[in-house]
Chain A
Amino acid sequence: MHEGMLLLAVIAVVVRFLVNVMPKVPVVGWFFSNESLAKAARVSETVAFVAALGGTIGIVASAVTGTILSTPEGIAGSTIVSNKVMVSIFALVFWIDFLVVRFNVGEEEIWSNRVLQFFYPLLAVIGFGCVTVAGSLGGTLAGKESVIDFAFSILSIHKNDPWTLAPITELSRMVVDSPLQYLVNIQSMLQIVVVINIVIVVLVLIYISIGNRPKSTS
């Protein structure tokens, strides 16, 4: 269900992007009037927003049902399931990001800004890409072939291997492979990570408390 809604959202936001860009192309004026373009912009904006909201709620709902149906051992034991969960979480993050940008920045500012008019549809496209990959992994889990399997074979991506995000993996490897590992065991290193996190949280809290201090009226 949510994949259909998100597809609709992507199509609508791409249409809105084209409507935003098309008036700058001289040939477009021969085929479309300004009124029809304005109407298309209005409709596609509303459709994109409502469909993205519905699709995002759908992703959360499917995550809840998936969690109820599976066990933690089932998720951790299968690499395909782990990959699917990871990609689904990233899809959810991108779509929440999409909605947050729309809520905070507003329609007019997004489409009048030179950078945001590209960034906003890009969030939707990447989010939908993640949803599609998650759906493909779901199809493999169900024992069926996926339409985008050819893309995996072209890119030499194996669904059974644990997927890693290269920069983050390299960062973790730099920490784990550092000379520190000969001085401290892995448990101690994890404790160091926790301590660093706590320090960051404390620093951020101090920053907020300073930033929210009322200004003196004198």
Chain B
Amino acid sequence: MSSNFVGLLIILFTLTASVNVIMAVRDEPVLLAWLNQIFLGTILIAIVSYLVVKLSLGKSSQKKGAAKEGV
């Protein structure tokens, strides 16, 4: 994993944790569920996108490497 992506995940998880603490103190389960949904959705989009890009680039670099070896 690149450190930029890991940094993004840290920020998102920390925000989720902070929101959970605040909402637990305020005792607002509906708002908590809504905010958690936003944070988890964002994390999900980021992870899926990262994996698609990483896997597809990995495949293309493997092909390029194989082509170079062939030459």
Contact = CB atoms under 8 A, between A and B. Distances in A.
Q: Do A and B bind each other?
A: yes
Contact of B10 (A76, A112, A168, A204): A204
Interface in B18-71: 20-21, 23-24, 27-34, 36-38, 40-42, 44-46, 49, 52-53, 55-57, 59-60
Contacts of B56: 113-116, 119
A53 interface: no
B60 A109 contact: yes
A194 B56 CA distance: 34
Interface in A66-98: 76, 82, 85-86, 89-90, 93-94, 97
A90 B41 contact: yes
Given A97-B45, A191-B24, A194-B20, A86 B34 contact: yes
A21 interface: no
B10 A201 contact: yes
Contacts of B42: 89-90, 93
Given A105-B53, A190-B24, A207-B6, A113 B60 contact: yes
A165 interface: yes
A186 B29 contact: yes
A172 B1 CA distance: 27
Nearest to B23: A190
Interface residues of B, number: 38
B34 A165 contact: no
A90 B27 CA distance: 26
B14 to A, nearest CB: 6
Provide the main secondary structure of the chain B interface. helix
A194 B20 CA distance: 7
Given A97-B45, A101-B53, A113-B57, A208 B6 contact: yes
Contact of A193 (B14, B17, B28, B38): B17
Nearest to A190: B24
Contacts of B32: 190
Contacts of B44: 167-168
Contact of A197 (B1, B20, B46): B20
A119 B53 contact: yes
A164 interface: yes
Closest 6 CB pairs of A and B: A115-B56, A197-B17, A190-B24, A168-B40, A194-B17, A197-B13
30 contacts: A76-B31, A86-B37, A86-B41, A89-B42, A90-B45, A101-B49, A105-B57, A109-B57, A112-B60, A113-B57, A115-B55, A115-B59, A119-B52, A119-B56, A164-B37, A167-B44, A171-B40, A172-B33, A190-B24, A193-B17, A193-B20, A194-B17, A194-B20, A197-B14, A197-B17, A201-B10, A201-B14, A201-B17, A204-B9, A212-B3
